[in-house]
């Protein structure tokens, strides 16, 4: 006849075995969880190339990069203006933009806080109105200590933001890579960028 082990002895052996295996199992489980941990990602589609609309994509991209996210910005149509070597001549166009009140960057506080809602009909016929609006906007930006677009773009480059140009738009407008900053990571089409946007945690259209 075989010898039946005492149940208390068996329980003790099982307990010892579990105590020996548990730390290793826990360590392996934590390692697996760490390996699965994904770096947050964000994709931005930038379609506008005016001075005022240049701020949202670069501010959001640089902020995401500062948070440790993987950020890619796809510049298409007029958004390609933001990748040109010289972006110091970007302008704003208040014409047709009723959500943009004109404010003066000079004078007493009460004067600077007036919203000058100038009708589109007036804006359209006043010579040089767009240049005037751009000058006022640039002065307002300077007065409030807001970074210039070139500086924000440099921050994005230094932070590892991927700047992507739309190849179709490059061809459409007759551009070449020589027209843009060398930091553009690649030129591609929607078929490549959309899967990137699909897999991103945050995807924005500007």
pLDDT (0 to 100) of residue 19: 72
pLDDT (0 to 100) of residue 165: 95
Asked if 73 contacts 46 with a C-beta cutoff of 8 angstroms, the reply is yes
pLDDT (0 to 100) of residue 194: 92
**Pairing assessment for the beta strands 162-166 and 202-205 based on DSSP bridges:** unpaired
Backbone angles phi, psi at 121, to 5 degrees: -60, -35
pLDDT (0 to 100) of residue 111: 61
Backbone angles phi, psi at 154, to 5 degrees: -65, -40
pLDDT (0 to 100) of residue 21: 72
The half-sphere exposure of 34 on its side-chain side, counting CA atoms within 13 A, is 6
**Which residue segments constitute the domains of the chain, with CATH numbers given?**
41-205 (3.40.1260.10)
Structural tokens at position 133: 């609006």
pLDDT (0 to 100) of residue 142: 74
For residue 157, the tally of other CB atoms under 10 A from its CB is 18
CA distance 201 to 189: 21
pLDDT (0 to 100) of residue 123: 54
pLDDT (0 to 100) of residue 23: 76
Residue-level pLDDT, tens digit, the chain, 206 residues: 455 556 777 667 777 777 777 777 777 776 666 666 678 999 999 999 888 889 999 999 999 999 999 999 999 999 999 999 888 778 877 655 555 566 666 667 766 665 656 555 555 555 666 676 766 677 766 777 778 889 999 999 999 999 999 999 999 999 988 999 999 999 999 999 999 999 999 999 98
pLDDT (0 to 100) of residue 32: 66
């Amino acid at each position: 006849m075989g010898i039946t082990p005492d149940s208390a002895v068996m329980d003790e052996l099982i307990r010892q075995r579990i105590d020996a295996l548990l730390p290793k199992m826990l360590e392996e489980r934590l390692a697996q969880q760490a390996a699965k941990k994904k770096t947050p990602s964000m994709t931005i589609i930038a379609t506008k190339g005016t001075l005022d609309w240049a701020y949202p994509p670069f501010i959001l991209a640089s902020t995401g990069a500062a948070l440790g996210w993987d950020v890619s910005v796809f510049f298409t149509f007029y958004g390609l203006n933001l990748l040109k070597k010289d972006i110091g001549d970007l302008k704003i166009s208040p014409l047709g933009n009723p959500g943009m009140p004109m404010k003066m960057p000079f004078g007493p506080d009460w004067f600077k806080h007036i919203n000058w809602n100038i009708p589109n009909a007036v804006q359209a016929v006043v010579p040089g109105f767009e240049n005037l609006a751009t000058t006022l906007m640039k002065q307002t930006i300077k007065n409030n200590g807001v970074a210039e677009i070139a500086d924000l773009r440099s921050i994005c480059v230094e932070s590892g933001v991927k700047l992507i140009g739309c190849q179709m738009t490059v061809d459409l407008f007759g551009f070449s890579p020589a027209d843009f900053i060398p930091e553009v990571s690649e030129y591609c089409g929607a078929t490549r960028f959309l899967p990137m946007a699909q897999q991103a945690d945050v995807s924005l259209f500007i």
